[in-house]
A and B are shown apart, each in its own frame.
Chain A
């Protein structure tokens, strides 16, 4: 346990930076490499590294599995919902041009929303898979 304190403190310091970087990748995807997929994975890795070092039961306490499952479905629903909103506003499915008064603004809004949906679902899926796998046995830190 003593041998791990350096690792734990370093990771504690790193976790906010990892999450901030995930948000940067999420919202900077329009301008550089990145997007919802990568951002979701990076965001999930912050939780996973916490779970690896402090045990999955504590990671579960940070975010309840129920909330993660809601996020898992919410992302896909948001993506599909943007498509339906396009139909309701007089366009075609997943047509972002009609989402705002200006087609280019509509495209920006649509891309922002669906990337957010992708990021939410990917992050929730990765956390779910990790917690389900790891929840079956003792946390890794017991092995020393």
Chain B
């Protein structure tokens, strides 16, 4: 049964990815990217990674879609028509990369394999000791916030830096045109 759900979700994701390639309307593409993220979130739930699924649904399907729509209000909705040049070179590069990546997956352990390196290294210690060391029922939280506190600090700094970058690039220009505020107030009716 779980294989059927997996296959259905993966088919939806492939179909969405094909949609990215063929659709020219950028609004539809933003919506498709939301659908892609939500399908990925469902896939993570099937794999029992609820914390990751939660983040994917909130960030990928929620915020990213909204920011995409807001960006469209700045740029316009249709992509320019594709050029008529030959695409053989890029196509070959993409195919070659894909073949290499698929080939690499044959060396990976099976999903959920107890002998896989990821399940042999530090994971058993987290599972056995986090109850008495941290005392938090959700092991994901104790790994993220305590055992891997440096990583999470780095991630938070990345988010902070991203917001600073957006402010530095786009935040200043608003003061240059004072008419924007008045126009905004007009639409308040």
Contact = CB atoms under 8 A, between A and B. Distances in A.
Contacts of B144: 35
B23 to A, nearest CB: 21
B160 A121 contact: yes
B58 to A, nearest CB: 4
Interface string B55-82: 1001100110011011101100000000
A44 B58 CA distance: 10
Interface residues of A, number: 61
B54 A34 contact: yes
Contacts of B138: 29-33
A72 interface: yes
Contacts of B46: none
B162 A125 contact: yes
Contacts of A30: 136-138, 141
Nearest to B165: A129
B134 interface: yes
A19 to B, nearest CB: 14
10 contacts: A33-B50, A33-B140, A37-B59, A41-B63, A57-B188, A73-B160, A75-B156, A107-B133, A125-B159, A141-B187
B171 interface: yes
A126 B164 CA distance: 11
A101 B184 CA distance: 54
B170 A41 contact: no
Contact of A126 (B50, B63, B187): B63
A128 B67 CA distance: 11
